[in-house]
Structure 1
Amino acid sequence: MKLILLVLGISLSSGSAIAQPAPPLVLQQTVKLPGVTGKFDHFAIDLKGNRLFAAATGNHSVEVIDLATGKVEQTISGLGKPHGLVWVASTHTLYVADGTLAELKRYQGSPLELAGSIKLSDDADDMVYNETNHLLFVGHGGSGAAAPPSIAVVDTDSFHLKTDIAVASHPEALEIDPQSQRIFANIADSSEVSILDGAGNTANSKWRLAGASHNVPLAFDAEDQVLYVACRTPAVLLALDAATGKELARVSTGEGADDLFYDSSAHRIYVIAGAGEVDVFQTESKTKLRSLGVVPTATGAKTALFVPSQSLLYVGVPGAGSKSAEIDIYSTSIVQGGN
């Protein structure tokens, strides 16, 4: 009798294991960064060179990581607070927005060396690049009259400031619609999204958010023309109609969202929350988002980079005390045929 019960228990246990849904993300590799401390901000990738660029804000550096070896091949030091990063493959150029030094820096060569800088204002932050006309949009300012909030439009061919477009308060994340070339900018302290034309001439319109504020990260679904915005107060993810700004859906997320990505092949959203988690959602329609689960990371792991061609999500884990920072690399491909 005991043997029968034991066999039955094993059978039930195996059946339960088989019935379990696939995890929304699978940790594939951890890249240790010895001597790097503090938090990260944004990332960029050189696909041809197989290098990851990490804005190690707390370490006042940009770390250049050889992904083939999992080792740091170069540390760009002497920075204040590096925030936004953009890699332009066609010119082999890395752009770094430095919030403390209030500059946009350009690095070229091998190893990367400073090839110029443009003075901006305090808290130079996130950036987005328009490949069509080679314009770089950089959010900066917002601390007062001496540094009004605006979005700098930089001509990368001549590397000069084309214009500054005023916004209501400090710009956070920026994103581009590759079809219309509109630029979307989260204006967090004003609870609104500003829309700029891709030629960098003007801010066309703005959408005021209802019942949600401190909208920091955003992502764009070009196929369905939906803008996803993550807010911190309360901690929610909003789906907005990209033509009108009308709210289509709303779901709860982890606290302190700071990065957000849309996976067009899997129709999924990854919300990176500073509380220590990645929230994964399935976009079943424009008006319905379904949670696929929460992947625990680490407190303060608030930024990441999703690389569609690799089906990988790189999450920056801060270093503190004797523990150095690291990059946790998650596979997203397993979920594409799963849940």
Structure 2
Amino acid sequence: MQTLLTRAQVTLLNVAAAVAILLTSVQPAPADEDKTVVFVCQHGVVNSQMAAAYFNKAAQERRLRFKAVSRGIDLYRSVPVRIRDGLTLDGLEVANTPQQLTLDDMTAADQVVAFDRIPAGRRGRADVTYWSGIPLGIDDYESTRDQIVRRIDALIPALAAEAARDRAPLQLEAKILLGDVRGRIDHLAVDLKRQRLFVAELGNDSIGVVDLAAHSLLRTVGGLNEPQGVGYEPSTETLYVANARDGSVRLFEANEYKATGRIELGSDADNIRIDAAAKHVVVGYGDGGLAVLDPSTRTKVRSLPLRAHPESFQLEPDSGRIFVNLPDAHAVAVVDGASGKQLANWPLDKGGNFAMTIDRDRGRVLVAYRSPTELAVFSTDGKPIANAETCGDVDDLFIDAKRERVYVSCGAGYVDVFEIDGSVYRRMARTPTATGARTALFVPEMDRLFVAVRAGPAGPAAIWVFKPTP
């Protein structure tokens, strides 16, 4: 840019500029406030002022939560009359009092656009987009304005897309490859102490052990028979694996994953839940039963009979009740975990009730149907509260109590995110995953949602790690 100042003028302005810098440096914007675009030119009074003013107008018209400011490399204290008049004719004002560019400005900015080269000492590690070839606005205001506006029109869509990603309630953080794993992947469990995720690789007859701290596969445990359910029992540091093909529950110690036991249930061992309060492991199996296992003796202590094969079931520790999805019976059974007595049967008018969770804070049971695809909410005594359309082929759903949300994992290739507003469940986002990725695990202690993605068009078998926001 052409120099607009004499050395004497610059010297006279040093003190005032320093005070302005201290008072007005850009501060990092909190998540719920506007993000900042810093436009930089040589003196901070011509092209950067024009760009900031026209950008703010465009951002406001498009309801984009970005605010632009102007900064100068060698500061001049006033905006030339020609620039003020040009902005006024377009119904605009200067963006801000002329201010010196600081390293803090660069660090805090979400986007930096410069018309002139920024010295390395002022730039830091910030990424800078240079708009070169644009004439000085004081010489040819209209031409400069038109070129700047065209650049802004190209910049705005990119920022809008970035803002939409930032607002998404689930952010894809990582993809952890599972190695050469083929076929369907079923349920997941976690060892919080070691930060390890266990993946039931049903179609591969194996269990994947993932190191969550390192975002890598630690090992694969083979020799299983269609593993469906997994559960980690922390008091004995034992991994439980339920196998569909032979009905066995295999036990492994949690360091080297050596086999330490086997419990035969007859057929179709499926979902596993850890009852920490009662110090039991509960496994759904066969044509209709829940097996209660004692971790200390590694034996089955009793069976709770059911009318049909249990799919997802949830424990209510305070009451000792167990809520059980029975899709073949089109019902939810409520069972007393201690006595095995069936306390209630909720008949359902829809099919495919495989997924279930409990909202303990609100005293509600959530069930997801596959036919038709719907999320249904009940009180714990079976009274309907709400329903909402959701994605297809649901297999898991979870409550995020911190954010008052529901996550619904679907084999159709999405995670639906619902916000809870009293008795209303409103879908706020549909996050893409991959076809067939229907099983997942939300771990509140780690504040992460893990989605199991089988090998296919989306790539090799992997765990996709989603971070909820804000």
Q: Do both share a fold (TM > 0.5)?
A: yes
Alignment of 1:19-168 (within 5 A): 20=164, 22-142=167-287, 149-168=288-307
Q: Does 1:298 align with 2:434?
A: yes
Structure 1 match to 2:150: 6
The 8 Å contact of residues 233 and 281 in structure 2, kept in 1 or not, is answered as no
State the AA in 1 paired with 2:320: Q
Cα displacement (A) at 1:320: 4.1
The 8 Å contact of residues 190 and 213 in structure 1, kept in 2 or not, is answered as no
Structure 2 residue runs of 5 or longer lacking an equivalent are 1-141
State the AA in 2 paired with 1:302: R
Cα displacement (A) at 1:156: 2.0
| Cα RMSD after superposing both structures | 2.1
Cα displacement (A) at 1:307: 0.5
Q: Which has the higher contact order (CA 8 A, sep 6+)?
A: 1
> Which has the larger helix fraction?
2
Structure 1 residue runs of 5 or longer lacking an equivalent are 143-148
TM-score (norm: length of structure 2): 0.66
> Which has the larger strand fraction?
1
Match of 1:206 among 336, 339, 345: 345
Structure 2 match to 1:146: none
Per-residue CA deviation, residues 236-255 of structure 1 (Å, 9 max, x unaligned), is 0000111x201110101111
- Change over 3 Å in CA distance of 1:8–1:209 after alignment to 2: same
Match of 1:232 among 357, 364, 370: 370
CA distance in 2, matches of 1:222, 1:22: 27
CA distance in 2, matches of 1:323, 1:11: 32
Cα displacement (A) at 1:197: 1.6
Per-residue CA deviation, residues 161-193 of structure 1 (Å, 9 max, x unaligned), is 222222121100011113212111110111111
The ranges of structure 1 where at least 4 consecutive aligned residues each deviate by more than 3 angstroms after the TM superposition are 1-5, 7-21, 320-323
- Secondary structure of the residue that 1:171 maps to in structure 2? coil
Per-residue CA deviation, residues 44-64 of structure 1 (Å, 9 max, x unaligned), is 111111111111111110011
CA distance in 1, matches of 2:159, 2:433: 29
Query: Kindly, what percent of the aligned residue pairs are identical?
Result: 34
State the AA in 1 paired with 2:265: L
Match of 1:219 among 339, 349, 357: 357
Structure 1 match to 2:444: 308
Per-residue CA deviation, residues 123-146 of structure 1 (Å, 9 max, x unaligned), is 21112121111122211112xxxx
Structure 1 match to 2:311: 172
Cα displacement (A) at 1:159: 1.9
- Change over 3 Å in CA distance of 1:19–1:276 after alignment to 2: closer
Structure 1 match to 2:417: 280
Cα displacement (A) at 1:108: 1.3
CA distance in 2, matches of 1:293, 1:322: 21
- Secondary structure of the residue that 1:58 maps to in structure 2? helix
- Change over 3 Å in CA distance of 1:123–1:322 after alignment to 2: same
